[in-house]
Amino acid sequence: MFQDVISVFSESIAALAVACLGFGVLIYFTLHNWQKVAALSRNRSQLLSVGGGIVVLLLVLQLRPFHGAEGSAESDNDSLAATGSGSRPQAVSAESLAAAGLAVVATYHNDNARTGQNVSETTLTPGNVNAAHFGKLYSFPVDGSVYAQPLYMPQVAIPGNGIHNVVIVATQHDSVYAFDADSPTPTPLWQVSFLNPDAGITTLPATDVNASDILPEIGITSTPTIDIASNTLYVVAATKENGAFYHRLHALDMTSGAEKFGGPRIIQASYPGAAQDGNDGVLSFSSRFQLQRAALLLSKGKVFVAFASNADSGLYHGWVVAYDAVTMKQAGAWVSTPDGYQGGIWMSGCGISADADGNLYLSIANGPFDAYGESPGVNYSDSIVKLKSSSHDLTLADFFTPFSQAKMARDDLDLGSSGVVLLPDQPGPYPHLAIATGKNGHIYLLNRDSFGGYNAGVKGNPQLVQELSGRLRQQMGTVAYWNGRLYFGAGISPYNDSIKAFTIRNGMLSAAPASQSAAVYHLTRSTVSVSANGNDNGIVWAVHTDAYYDSRQGPAVLHAYDAKNLAHELYNSNQRLARDNPGTAAKFTVPTIANGKVFVGTANQLSVYGLLAAAGN
């Protein structure tokens, strides 16, 4: 931040120096050529011409430091911008932003590779995250359960209210809040509700869609995404409107919450297919049977929205629908099971991943698979797929399906319970790797350049770079990556389980965990986050939500572990529960770490943690 400020300030000083030099020359010329100047003053047209020239010169000097600051509206979450005191954002690179000490969490799990790492954390360290020095600073009340990961945007200029570091929270009650991340004031900087009960616009009652896993209402379930260059927040809200069901894509101004780009846009789509819910060979998107669970993706100027089902109810499909981020026009659709049904895209809340070329990666849940044999079909359940996005289309580029797909579908061990994480380039024969897990607890390491499809009649998956089984229990979360380590959340099983860290060297995973936490997790749907200062001071953060399943629904528990040795727990909120209670547990909670603070969403509030000295305690 300070480097950007100094840069702008130095440019302003340069402009001022040039202006002063110009005025000095003008005064010198006037004093030494007084008679000529007096003659010029008697010729009004010449005088106006000279005056106009001076004005133009001054305007050029005034505007020069801000030339090109607006940048392009077409950007993704790996192209960052910071807003200064001026009215226009100044585009900066991710590297310069990190060098300035400004962390941004603009999308689920921190980046479009879904690594879950913030390597710009300079305040929180394994040395100061402990119950004596670290704890809850304050909480912000909200009107519904927080399933979406909180997002963090620094240096947002709020009209009439100055510049703030902003945390964004979305709720199942169809509300979006923007809070000052550094102030205990419970009043939001702005709040938007997409409901109007007087006009018959409400959230979806869970009973209306036979949902048993999201109670009591369905509103905003997925994590939004932010286009930092244009200060735009994209969010999808589900509503029931006088008996009809809708999903809408909203583009909100980060400074005010106002709708942008002519939004919102009702999500509607069609796709060729012979499924029984189609009509004359065409499937039509039906909001009633679709749950927008997966986080949104912003990549290459497009917003990608993925859908699964409401508790496996009705004739649903896995849909991916793309929209232009500025015009809000639809830019393509893809369906996972166009000749069948099921195959939802939910990934326990993770979003579609994207590489630098704009290729998309996602995993698909239970359903039919027939893309093999002499006449391959087009149903891709229990698969990991790679999609290509063109200006008006989404097409399948590659896929991987385990040899045991039929058994996985039969036993509800779907591959779609985990997101797909794209690893940094690795040494070895396969530099471009992706990693995913599933309900069967297997770890799949894939070559992104060739997924290998499906090997019919073969026991095993030789098309994979590596597969580990028996190391994890049932996974409902997405792995995190930091500094050559991969962190898998605790699995769901009849027994307590641990968070586990595996190392990756020369493009291969360690055969066994390098470290693991104490086994305290049982039913938690666990996706962990990592904070670090580059390759140092790594901390793994997890939210324990077993209490969600208690009849009395108790509090969540925030945990912090030494990232180099998960057996070393640094802190948990139960150590000082009276002071540090996060609030009533919600499902699939993912913590956000930025600028010395940890943000935890719960069933009724957003709790903010940090060093207690920062709060004067």
Q: Please spell the DSSP secondary structure of 305-345, one letter per residue.
A: EEEB-STT-SS-B-EEEEEETTT--EEEEEES-TTSSB---
Low-confidence ranges of the chain (pLDDT < 70): 1-99, 614-617
Give residue 554's pLDDT: 93
pLDDT by residue (tens digit) across 488-522?
Answer: 999 887 888 999 999 999 999 999 999 999 999 98
Give residue 495's pLDDT: 82
Count, residues in the chain:
617
Q: Model-level pTM?
A: 0.86
Give residue 17's pLDDT: 47
Is-contact 152 592, C-beta < 8 A? yes
Rounded Cα–Cα distance for residues 430 and 443 (Å): 17
Give residue 37's pLDDT: 39
What string of DSSP letters covers 509-563?
E-SS-SEE--S-BSS-----EEEEETTEEEEEEEEE-GGGGSTT--B-EEEEEET
Cis peptide bond N-terminal to 216, omega within 30 = yes
Is-contact 383 401, C-beta < 8 A? yes
410 Cα distance to chain centroid: 32
Q: Are strands 190-193 and 175-180 parallel, antiparallel or unpaired?
A: antiparallel
Backbone angles phi, psi at 577, to 5 degrees: -60, -40
What does the block give as tokens for 269? 């789509």
| Domain ranges for the chain | 2-98, 103-615
Identify each DSSP E strand in 65-148 by its residue range: 81-83, 89-91, 117-118, 134-141
Q: Give the chain's end-to-end CA distance (angstroms, integer).
A: 27
Give residue 99's pLDDT: 65
Is-contact 430 449, C-beta < 8 A? yes
C-beta atoms surrounding 65 within 10 Å: 18
Amino acid identity at 475: Q
Rounded Cα–Cα distance for residues 383 and 369 (Å): 8
Q: Which superfamily is assigned to 103-615 in CATH? A: Quinoprotein alcohol dehydrogenase-like superfamily (2.140.10.10)
C-beta atoms surrounding 44 within 10 Å: 9
Is-contact 366 323, C-beta < 8 A? no
